[in-house]
Amino acid sequence: MLRATLTTAILAALAAPPALATVEIDGRIDPAEWQGAQHVTDFRQTQPLSRAPASQPTEAWILATEDGLAVAFRNLQSPDIPRTRQQAQRDQGAQADRINLYVDFDGDGRSGYNFTVLLSNSITDTTITNENQFNSDWDGDWRHATSEDEAGWSAEILIPWYIAPMRDVEGTRTLGIQLDRVIGASGERASWPAVSFQDTRFLTALNKVQVPAYSQSLLAITPYVSGVYDNVAHKSDFDTGADIFWKPNGKFQLSATLNPDFGQVESDQLVVNFSAQESFFSDKRPFFTENQGYFDVPFGSLNTSNKLIYTRRVGANADDGSGAGDVTAAVKVNGSLGAMNYGVFAATEADEAGRDFYAVRTSHDGEKQGIGAMVTRVDRPCYGQDVEGCIGREANVYEVDHRWTPNPQWSIRTTLVGSDITGMGTDAFGRRDAGESGSDTGGQVRIDWDMGDGWRQQLYMLHLGDKLQLNDFGFLERNNFNYARYDLAKRFTNLPETSRYSAADWHWATSRRVNDHGLHIADAFAMNRSGQLRDGGNDFFEVASWSSGHDDRILRGNGIVNMPAKYFLFYERNRPRQGDGHWEFYGNTRWASEGLGTPGKSSLQLSFEPTYHVNDRLRFFTSWFFEHNSDWVLWRGDNLLGSYDEDMIQLNAGSVFLINDKQQLRVRLEAIGLDAKAKQAYRVAANGEPLPSAEAIPDVGLRNLGFQVRYRYELAPLSYLYIAYVRGGSFFEEDVLGRYGARDEFADAFSLRDSEQLLVKLSYRFEL
């Protein structure tokens, strides 16, 4: 009996799989370390999307370990194909040799992550939502390494299990995974499985991979201290705060921040905006990017910047006009209860006018269907003593979204939204009482059909009620809007070898715009073609037109304007750096006739962006933008419009020096000069007709400057020392009486000095 028991035990031990060895992430693939991994060899071309076998042999290994998800790539490359080893700042990327891991940790198509490693060992990490919408604001802590030999190059990465919230499962976990490899010299992309993120279905089309349901815990605290001295105001400021990340198990994750830094080391791009639509800016604050993808519900037109939670609202300009709101604290919880996922978000601002922000979201996803719901609330208190009867403002938004993918060809996404607003508030332009109390609804549906043989169709319909208000917490271009768009597309991938192009994608689209009161805004038609060239670059061409119609936004609520037909032409070309060459180029041009004097009057824009690479670590870049508009229409108050002869010059230049893997020095200069000479004033009649007026309207001049020298030292993963010198200013003037032109405004921009600051910031991540 004892002998039989011992024999059984020995046989069981021999049959049992060996204990998982720790994979050393050094870029050199050791067969012993990757024993038992899933071996992938069926890489097929997805750029161009021919799905033919990869032209260069590529293989990969996928291995789940207790330390995380490990993936290795072996990329063979013919000697006649140059290798591109360009270094890049994190999340900046480059047209270089690289590999990608796309992973959906719950395998339900709701959200995912993209981890990119360049041959130079530079990295990019992004979140993926809404099937194929990528956001690079998020930074994760993961390991990576590359190595190179005569036959090719290799890469290894390890993604810790604590990097994302995951559904609570027993025994095994189902991941959605895609692997791909890009050859920088040609732009060719080979993937497993053979699906493209340019298609309407991407996350839900990833391969399903079964792995053991490992779980990791982590407590990380990242305190920061910063000091700023303003040499113009002659004052200094000292600040401190902390970010906290706690994941006790796989199904629960908490992020918190105390007195978060508003991201002074990451400057926003200068923009010129005289329109009725506010400008959208991404968020760089670590807390507000950490696992924010779960709350990212795009809504409102095909512009992906529209969303129900726009985190830049937290800490934005205060309602009392005192400047940016002071965020005291914020907390975010992501987790799962059985098959249900959930998320909770809360933030509060200090001072009398401080706002409180709340959001709760839940979702449930199956193989073919998924449903989600979210509620947001913003409390904006009454402030000051001069507002009689002030009751503050409460903004509640309710949302339900549904995803249905009955088969690989069809995808249907629906979102319903409602808002309930009470009290007063301010709009994006800081106007008190701008938002009316009331309730309204909106909805959108997007239907995609892949017909095969490269043909695709999409129907998109949107309704935004007249009193629908989302901008207390979200970002919506406008309300009071109905929109329908049909798009037919054809992809060509079998182009002859003699063609400059390896693939081309054609789209034909027609659309209709009507506001919620039945006012016809415009019908439109567009045709465009995007092409992938064999030099690794790409180009894009579009021709479009709008029918005559109406503009119900430009007068800011003071009436509507009858608008003539509009016409547009656009072309852009990108040529990346070739091998060990020094130059890369990008340029575009846009012609449009979209004012009151179409088609006789028009605008022309030219943009040219050459970049010189001294070597793989040092580059100098410059971007010139020129615009001339002979019919620039500007609102002058009430129902008065002005037509201008406008010129603008914009420069964006600088250098990036990646001193080593830990240090980088960046110099960035932006300058804008704009001059607009008044040509004709118009009073808009009650029927919408703009009538010439003899009223005098002033000329307009504007100049902006932004200059930054920034040094960054990476002390440890997600731990940095920043030293930055920043100078900037803006100046707007009227009645310049023809003394100036755009070149004068541009030249004078360099003398602006509204602020001149020296910033030092230190943050360090402690993992406990």
3-state helix, strand, coil in the chain (%, to 5): 5, 55, 40
Q: 60 pLDDT exceeds 50?
A: yes
The predicted model gives 458-474 an average pLDDT of 95
Q: Which residue has the higher pLDDT, 274 or 3?
A: 274
pLDDT for the residue 408: 86
The predicted model gives 726-737 an average pLDDT of 85
Strand partners, 760: 227, 723
Burial of 696 (0-12, 13-18, 19+ CB in 10 A): exposed
Query: For residue 133, what pLDDT band results from cuts at 50, 70 and 90?
Result: confident
- The set of residues, in sequence order, having a beta carbon less than 8 Å from that of 395 and lying 6+ positions away, is 376, 377, 378, 380, 419, 420, 421, 425, 435, 469, 472, 473
Residue length, the chain?
Answer: 768
Query: For residue 165, what pLDDT band results from cuts at 50, 70 and 90?
Result: confident
Q: 5 pLDDT exceeds 80?
A: no
Closest by CA to 183, choosing from 78, 284, 91, is 78
The predicted model gives 119-148 an average pLDDT of 92
pLDDT for the residue 352: 82
Q: 428 pLDDT exceeds 50?
A: no
The predicted model gives 495-519 an average pLDDT of 94
User: Judging by DSSP bridges, how do beta strands 538-546 and 252-258 pair with one another?
Assistant: unpaired
Instruction: Provide the strand spans (E) within 471-602.
Output: 481-492, 501-514, 520-533, 538-546, 549-551, 561-563, 566-575, 583-593
Query: For residue 430, what pLDDT band results from cuts at 50, 70 and 90?
Result: very low
Strand partners, 666: 656, 710
- The set of residues, in sequence order, having a beta carbon less than 8 Å from that of 456 and lying 6+ positions away, is 199, 200, 448, 449, 450, 488, 489, 490, 491
With beta carbons less than 8 A apart as the criterion, state whether 656 and 89 touch: yes
- At 439, the amino acid letter reads S
Going from the N-terminus, what domains does the chain have, and what CATH number goes with each? 20-215 (2.60.40.1190), 217-237+548-768 (no CATH)
pLDDT for the residue 15: 36
Query: For residue 415, what pLDDT band results from cuts at 50, 70 and 90?
Result: very high
Closest by CA to 559, choosing from 571, 547, 551, is 551
CA-only gyration radius of the chain, Å = 28
Query: For residue 20, what pLDDT band results from cuts at 50, 70 and 90?
Result: very low
The predicted model gives 162-188 an average pLDDT of 91
Other CB atoms within 10 Å distance of the CB of residue 6: 10
Pick the range with the lowest mean pLDDT from 115-124, 166-175, 195-204, 298-307. Answer: 298-307
Pick the range with the lowest mean pLDDT from 15-29, 53-67, 181-195, 715-729. Answer: 15-29
The predicted model gives 513-521 an average pLDDT of 96
Other CB atoms within 10 Å distance of the CB of residue 724: 20
Query: For residue 303, what pLDDT band results from cuts at 50, 70 and 90?
Result: low
How far is CA 310 from each of CA 33, 277, 314, 342, 373, rounded to the nearest angstrom? 44, 15, 8, 19, 17
Query: For residue 389, what pLDDT band results from cuts at 50, 70 and 90?
Result: very low
How far apart (Å, rounded) are the C-alpha atoms in residues 367 and 388? 55
How far apart (Å, rounded) are the C-alpha atoms in residues 191 and 58? 9
With beta carbons less than 8 A apart as the criterion, state whether 405 and 368 touch: yes
pLDDT for the residue 8: 37
pLDDT for the residue 570: 98
State the average pLDDT for the chain.
89
Q: 28 pLDDT exceeds 90?
A: yes
Q: 497 pLDDT exceeds 70?
A: yes
Pick the range with the lowest mean pLDDT from 43-47, 379-383, 484-488, 633-637. Answer: 379-383
How far apart (Å, rounded) are the C-alpha atoms in residues 116 and 103? 12
Query: For residue 384, what pLDDT band results from cuts at 50, 70 and 90?
Result: low
- The set of residues, in sequence order, having a beta carbon less than 8 Å from that of 162 and lying 6+ positions away, is 216, 217, 218, 247, 253
Terminal-residue alpha carbon distance, the chain? 50
pLDDT for the residue 18: 41
Torsion of CA 179, 183, 188, 191, to 10 degrees: -10
User: Judging by DSSP bridges, how do beta strands 393-407 and 410-423 pair with one another?
Assistant: antiparallel
Query: For residue 390, what pLDDT band results from cuts at 50, 70 and 90?
Result: low
State the pTM of this model.
0.87
Pick the range with the lowest mean pLDDT from 32-46, 130-144, 745-759. Answer: 130-144
Select, from the ranges 83-92, 272-281, 579-588, 645-654, the one with the highest average predicted confidence (pLDDT): 645-654
Strand partners, 566: 546
pLDDT for the residue 738: 56
